[in-house]
Structure 1
Amino acid sequence: MKKLQTFYANLFLTGRLFAALSCCVVFFVLLFFFPWLGILPELAFWVIATLIIVDIFLLYRTNSGVFAKRHAPERLSNNDENDLGIYVENRYSFAINVGIIDEIPFQFQKRDVWFNTNLTPRQTKLINYVLRPVKRGEYDFGDIRVYVKSPLGLVTRRYNFAQAEILPVYPSFLQMRKYELMAISNRLNEVGIKKIRRLGHSLEFDQVKNYVPGDDYRAINWKATARQGNLMTNSYTEEKSQHVYCVIDKSRVMKMPFEGLSLLDYAINASLVLLNVALLKEDKAGLITISEKKGAVIPADRRPTQLNKILEVLHKEKTRYLETNLELLYNTIRGVIKQRSLVIFFTNYESVSALNRQLPYLKRIAKFHLLLVVFFENTELKKLSEEHATDVEGIYTKTIAEKFAYDKKLIAKELTKHGIQSILSTPQNLNVNTINRYLEIKAKQKI
């Protein structure tokens, strides 16, 4: 009984079968008007019935006519296109048409994940597709369902492959690897990272090398020049083992979404990329998260496991719904960071009054550390301010949008007035802008 239920549950009639039966019905109708058709309608019916039986026999004569399996990474990267694949194998002795449904997590809100392909006898194929998650967390993948049609195409058999699995979505480690490879090969300028001209040099000696035009003539090593007979110059490297901390605001101001991703996720992705570049520059990377109460605290270090430790912490962070306690942040920084460091504070301000509430504590932090405040440009308001107004309501909307955009610039000027560096960035350009500023600070030896 159970086998019979399974048989009916996985058997589907195709459009080709309904078309054939419709033609058969038409034959029977015409028989009333044209008796000379004789037994042709009945003969057509039995031919169709016979083909249905043959088709069912072809599809059901084996229990494993096809095989399918999902190929997925161990974890997905947030806000990146992650490559997945479905391996499918035809074990029939004839060509088949295959339709595949992969039950992807509900977070993607996709109802049309359908792949159609043809397979020759014993052929295998890998069908690739991409998914772009926009929220960290755990994503439940369901089963793979394969719908098979023989060359007759009158019925379809469904195969169900149980492959339920849970994949975690981590902060954007694909972007991190991309910037890491470019930093190692000195090709960061390909993604918009500027080359900063170093003014002077640090005190960390690197090597003695041949002089080339453009080198600082003040660094010429006259003793080495006399020994070699060629102009030799001292080469210096950037100072190492400097402490770089990313402080991430988890309060309600970071809940705002842009292109499906919250500001908190943009800040987390940028922090991960920046701290990875800092480790490649042989600096020490640390992390602090804050809201109305203290979050995660990872002291600065440059051990090989430091980045994985930061990644695991950032994976679990979520926005909260109260305002940030800047006094608590100040006390945390004073208690954790024991030497002058670069502190990059990712937050968001929508008005000057919001900044003024926190400015006293920012000024205190800036007395002991080099503070860089990173906040976001509202791209939607910018679009509204650039649109042409056609009526009174449009003029009012445009004026308000321009006012808020102007407030953002006032916030940056106010921070600069108190000796606090700032970055006003669109969410999309956050990675590039923060890395540029970090390299600029390193080159000018401000830490």
Structure 2
Amino acid sequence: MRNLLKKYYTDLFLSKRFFAGIGLCVSLFLFSFFLPWLADLAYLCFWIFAALVLVDGLLLYQPKKTVFVRRDLPERLSNGDDNELHIYLENFYAFGIRAGLIDEIPYQFQKRDLWFKSYLKSGTQKTITYTLRPTKRGEYIFGQLRLYVQSPVGLVVRRFNIGSEVTVPVYPSFLQLRKYELMAISHRLNEIGIKKIRRIGHSMEFDQVKNYVQGDDYRTVNWKATARKGELMVNTFTDEKSQHVYCIIDKSRSMKMPFEGLSLLDYAINASLILSNVALVKEDKAGLITIAEKTGSVVPADRRPAQLGKIMAILYKEKTRYLEMNMEALYTTVRSVLKQRSLVVFFTNFESMSALNRQLPYLKRVAKFHLLLIVFFENTELKTLTEKPVQDVEDIYIQTIAAKFAYEKKLMVKELAKHGILSILTPPEKLTINVVNRYLSIKAQQKI
């Protein structure tokens, strides 16, 4: 009995109407000291109010079948993307209810005002849809759903605590991965900014014999097929297959810098996952290496169906370190793991020429054996500062320093090109498109 009363007591709340009714009764009793004829009215209002509270409580607590609530969570969330979540409500009361819902979302989102209001007629259902955008990979814990229900009387509120804690992992951006995969399969990458690259010559990977159409290279005419069929036939060629594409991700402190909620490491992880998937669709072999003060994870290049799952499982748990990157360890790993000439896409960040010069000897050694593509980031905050109107001498000083750092980034591109190393200097938000563009360009130009 005690536990039953405690259960009712802990889930029972008083509404604004209740306090308004109490205030009215107290006011009538107060004024009855000066106007005695109000005493009977005050008692009448009090007992009517008490009866309404009792009726309201019975309406909410007496039915056995009340409400049904379910939260529909995906198996995993996509980092850096808007993920849709759904909450299903159904009313089994014999009357319409006003409902307020609190979803205890993970603390990582730092949202304390996620409150949904709704009205449901008897026997109706409703689905509440909202989005969450995680900015860190890892495990996210969803708490209970807390539903607050009011009857048409509206004096008391009953709370329902639904469900228990649920853990949902946040993986690198697989929503973008699916989008790029579908476009790569259907050859529509140009719709999202992927450029069409003019081919220089053609590869030696034979595809098929087809009818000649205007614009085909006359040097590819297949004379034997032409003689058999009686009309011009040409050989067509496709990109070279089974080439090795390795993504190397720098996990040192230089990749800790945030941009729009995500760190540079998260941008690099999302881009490398998409690049690996596009490479697999193009029938190349994708591999992965992570590096900080020591070598992290290594996934040898392969194109089996499970390869992308292996890469995603590795990238899911990677975190930035707080030490400088060990380029000697990276060079040793590249020489021991990469057994043939490969495209090496190195995601890192340089903030000064001195930082680049420290790593340049090792980069030149890697570029001697492989096609090396360095991907590093523009500091968009510096660009904003250089475009900001100047108000005083301090602004001039700040703008000059910002312009100096921005100019150094461009000098780095030229310095790398001088040593025959390809590079991409990109804003974080355009990283994926720029990297996939360059990969397709390299494939079309047969540089690997």
What TM-score results when the alignment is normalised by the length of structure 2?
A: 0.97
Give the Å deviation of 1:185: 1.3
Secondary structure of 2:179's aligned partner: helix
Match of 1:270 in 2: 271
Give the Å deviation of 1:43: 1.4
Match of 1:143 in 2: 144
1:121-270 equivalence runs, <5 A = 121-270=122-271
Match of 1:292 in 2: 293
Which amino acid in the other structure matches residue 268 of structure 2? A
Equivalent residues of 2:204, 2:240 under 8 A apart: yes
Cα shift readout 1:43-86 (whole Å, capped 9, x = no counterpart): 12211111110000000113551121211011111001111111
Cα shift readout 1:290-324 (whole Å, capped 9, x = no counterpart): 11101001110000000000000011111111111
In 2, Cα distance between equivalents of 1:127 and 1:437 = 42
Aligned residues: 447
RMSD of aligned residue pairs (Cα, Å): 1.3
In 2, Cα distance between equivalents of 1:20 and 1:198 = 81
In 1, Cα distance between equivalents of 2:322 and 2:437 = 31
In 2, Cα distance between equivalents of 1:38 and 1:437 = 87
In 1, Cα distance between equivalents of 2:84 and 2:77 = 9
In 2, Cα distance between equivalents of 1:80 and 1:279 = 23
In 2, Cα distance between equivalents of 1:143 and 1:298 = 39
Equivalent residues of 1:69, 1:163 under 8 A apart: no
Which amino acid in the other structure matches residue 83 of structure 1? E
Equivalent residues of 1:99, 1:146 under 8 A apart: yes
Range with greater deviation from structure 2 (58-67 or 322-331):
58-67
Match of 1:439 in 2: 440
Range with greater deviation from structure 2 (150-159 or 32-41):
32-41
Cα shift readout 1:396-427 (whole Å, capped 9, x = no counterpart): 11111111100100011100000000000111
Equivalent residues of 2:29, 2:38 under 8 A apart: no
Match of 1:329 in 2: 330
In 2, Cα distance between equivalents of 1:171 and 1:31 = 69
In 2, Cα distance between equivalents of 1:16 and 1:232 = 85
Equivalent residues of 1:70, 1:163 under 8 A apart: no
Secondary structure of 1:98's aligned partner: strand
Give the Å deviation of 1:274: 0.2
Equivalent residues of 1:134, 1:261 under 8 A apart: yes
In 2, Cα distance between equivalents of 1:316 and 1:211 = 52
Match of 2:76 in 1: 75
In 1, Cα distance between equivalents of 2:79 and 2:190 = 24
In 2, Cα distance between equivalents of 1:329 and 1:23 = 77
CA pair 206-37 structure 1, distance change in 2 beyond 3 A: same
Give the gaps of 5 or more residues in structure 2: none
Secondary structure of 2:289's aligned partner: strand
Give the Å deviation of 1:219: 1.7
Equivalent residues of 2:28, 2:39 under 8 A apart: no
In 1, Cα distance between equivalents of 2:367 and 2:58 = 79
Cα shift readout 1:350-392 (whole Å, capped 9, x = no counterpart): 0000000000000000000000000000111111111011011
Equivalent residues of 1:79, 1:172 under 8 A apart: yes
Secondary structure of 1:39's aligned partner: helix
Cα shift readout 1:88-122 (whole Å, capped 9, x = no counterpart): 22121211111111111000000011111111212
Range with greater deviation from structure 2 (206-215 or 272-281):
206-215
Give the Å deviation of 1:222: 3.0
In 1, Cα distance between equivalents of 2:290 and 2:65 = 52
In 1, Cα distance between equivalents of 2:108 and 2:427 = 25
Is 1:367 the equivalent of 2:368? yes
Match of 2:427 in 1: 426
Equivalent residues of 2:109, 2:134 under 8 A apart: yes
Match of 1:62 in 2: 63
Cα shift readout 1:253-281 (whole Å, capped 9, x = no counterpart): 00111111011110000000000000000
Give the Å deviation of 1:30: 4.3
Aligned-residue sequence identity (percent) comes to 67
Which amino acid in the other structure matches residue 390 of structure 1? Q
Range with greater deviation from structure 2 (97-106 or 114-123):
114-123
Give the Å deviation of 1:126: 1.9
Cα shift readout 1:155-182 (whole Å, capped 9, x = no counterpart): 1000111321111111111111110011
Range with greater deviation from structure 2 (381-390 or 342-351):
381-390
Give the Å deviation of 1:38: 5.9
Match of 2:304 in 1: 303
In 1, Cα distance between equivalents of 2:249 and 2:360 = 17
Match of 1:10 in 2: 11
Equivalent residues of 2:79, 2:134 under 8 A apart: yes
Match of 2:318 in 1: 317
Secondary structure of 1:208's aligned partner: strand
Which amino acid in the other structure matches residue 94 of structure 2? S
Equivalent residues of 1:372, 1:421 under 8 A apart: yes
Which amino acid in the other structure matches residue 282 of structure 2? K
Equivalent residues of 2:29, 2:39 under 8 A apart: no
Which amino acid in the other structure matches residue 183 of structure 2? M
Is 1:395 the equivalent of 2:402? no
Range with greater deviation from structure 2 (269-278 or 80-89):
80-89
Which amino acid in the other structure matches residue 130 of structure 1? T
In 2, Cα distance between equivalents of 1:34 and 1:431 = 79
Which amino acid in the other structure matches residue 202 of structure 1? S
Give the gaps of 5 or more residues in structure 1: none
In 2, Cα distance between equivalents of 1:83 and 1:174 = 11
In 2, Cα distance between equivalents of 1:394 and 1:51 = 67
